[in-house]
Amino acid sequence: MDFIDEDFIDHNKNNKNNHKKMEVDQNEELPTKFDMEMTIKYVANHGNDKNDFEYTMTEFLRMSGIYWGTTCLDIMGHLDKLDKKSIIEFIKNCQCKKSGGIAACDSHDPHILYSLSAVQILCIYDALDEIDIPALGKYVQSLQQIDGSFFGDKWGEVDTRFSFCAVAILALTNQMNLIDVDKAVEFVMSCVNPDGGFGSKPYAESHAGLIYCCVGFLSITHNLHRLETEKLAWWLCERQLKSGGLNGRPEKLPDVCYSWWVLSSLTIMGKAHWIDGAKLKEFIISCLDTETGGFSDRPGNMPDIFHTLFGIGALSLLGYENLKKINPTFCMPEEIVSKIYQAQILEY
Residue ranges that bind Zn ion, judged by CB under 5 A: 255, 257, 297
How far apart, in whole angstroms, are the C-alpha atoms of residue 218 and residue 237?
19
- Residue of 63, 58, 187 lying closest to 113 (CA atoms): 63
Instruction: Name the residue nearer to other proteins (CB basis): 86 or 194.
Output: 194
Residue 185: CB minimum distance to other proteins, A:
9
How far apart, in whole angstroms, are the C-alpha atoms of residue 198 and residue 205?
7
Taking CB within 5 to 8 Å according to partner kind, which of Zn ion, other proteins, none is near residue 4? other proteins
Please, which residues have CB within 8 angstroms of residue 126's CB and are 6 or more apart in sequence?
none
Residue 268: CB minimum distance to other proteins, A:
14
Instruction: Name the residue nearer to Zn ion (CB basis): 122 or 284.
Output: 284
Instruction: Name the residue nearer to Zn ion (CB basis): 289 or 297.
Output: 297
Are the C-beta atoms of 142 and 110 separated by less than 8 Å?
no
Instruction: Name the residue nearer to other proteins (CB basis): 157 or 180.
Output: 157
Taking CB within 5 to 8 Å according to partner kind, which of other proteins, Zn ion, none is near residue 134? none
Strand partners, 166: none
Taking CB within 5 to 8 Å according to partner kind, which of Zn ion, other proteins, none is near residue 98? none
Instruction: Name the residue nearer to Zn ion (CB basis): 6 or 153.
Output: 6
Instruction: Name the residue nearer to other proteins (CB basis): 4 or 146.
Output: 4
Instruction: Name the residue nearer to Zn ion (CB basis): 76 or 257.
Output: 257
Taking CB within 5 to 8 Å according to partner kind, which of other proteins, Zn ion, none is near residue 229? other proteins
Question: Which residue's Cβ has the minimum distance to Zn ion?
Answer: 257
Question: If you compute the radius of gyration of the chain from its CA atoms, what whole number of angstroms results?
Answer: 19
Return the number of other C-beta atoms located less than 10 Å from residue 335's C-beta. Answer: 12
Residue 76: CB minimum distance to other proteins, A:
20
Residue 57: CB minimum distance to Zn ion, A:
18
Taking CB within 5 to 8 Å according to partner kind, which of Zn ion, other proteins, none is near residue 129? none
Strand partners, 294: none
Taking CB within 5 to 8 Å according to partner kind, which of other proteins, Zn ion, none is near residue 51? other proteins
Taking CB within 5 to 8 Å according to partner kind, which of Zn ion, other proteins, none is near residue 237? other proteins
What kind and span of H or E run contains 304? Answer: none
How far apart, in whole angstroms, are the C-alpha atoms of residue 57 and residue 104?
13
Please, which residues have CB within 8 angstroms of residue 117's CB and are 6 or more apart in sequence?
2, 63, 64, 66, 67, 102, 104
The CB-side HSE value for 144 (13 A sphere, CA atoms) comes to: 26
Residue 306: CB minimum distance to Zn ion, A:
7
The CB-side HSE value for 219 (13 A sphere, CA atoms) comes to: 29
Residue 205: CB minimum distance to other proteins, A:
4
The Cα-based distances of 42 to 46, 52, 303, 325, 334 in angstroms read: 6, 14, 10, 21, 23
Residue 199: CB minimum distance to Zn ion, A:
18
Return the number of other C-beta atoms located less than 10 Å from residue 95's C-beta. Answer: 20
